[in-house]
Amino acid sequence: MAQSEILNYGLPVASKGFFRKLADGDFGLAKTYWLFGVTVSIGVNLLSNFVITSIQGLVLLTLAYAVYDVPVILGTWRAAKKYQGPKLWANLAKSMTVVGAIMLVAVLVMLVVLLLKEA
């Protein structure tokens, strides 16, 4: 096994599962941020606005997205740390990761408030 194949936690990239690769930033900064972060977020937003019609559906979608978003946030941060290009892009990605984490917590808090009102 080549030293370049070994990344976080001493695991070869080829033996990692999708979410482990995502959380470790193994897909690279652009793909992690734009494809797995922004594109999926837009899809979830469209689902929540145009497809989900019940509170229960919204709760399930939000919880599923929150579980998915944690490795995306971690992976974006870690990919930014590994990024070899201009530091501006890495710093912007880290900044947006912080904003994304704050927004995720805010959405989860609002969800709890909504559920408490419904109870």
pLDDT digits (tens, 9 = 90+) for 42-75: 999 999 999 888 888 989 999 999 999 999 999 9
Distance CA 86, CA 116 (A): 46
Is the residue at 1 inside a domain?
no
Residue 40 to residues 31, 88, 96, 119, Cα–Cα distance (Å): 12, 24, 15, 31
Beta bridge partners of 12: 6
Whole-model pTM: value is: 0.84
Region 77-106 average pLDDT: 97
> How many of the other CB atoms lie within 10 Å of CB of 65?
19
Instruction: Give a yes or no: residue 4 inside a domain.
Output: no
- Tell me the average pLDDT across 82-93: 97
**Residue closest to 73 by CA, chosen among 92, 99, 91:** 99
Residue 11 lies in a domain: no
In a domain, 6, yes or no: no
Q: Is residue 119 pLDDT above 50, yes or no?
A: yes
In a domain, 104, yes or no: yes
| Structural domain boundaries, residue 41 | 17-118
User: How far is it, in rounded angstroms, from Cα 85 to Cα 87?
Assistant: 6
CA atoms within 13 A on the CB side of 57: 10
Domain count, the chain: 1
3-state helix, strand, coil in the chain (%, to 5): 80, 0, 15
Domain annotation covers residue 54: yes
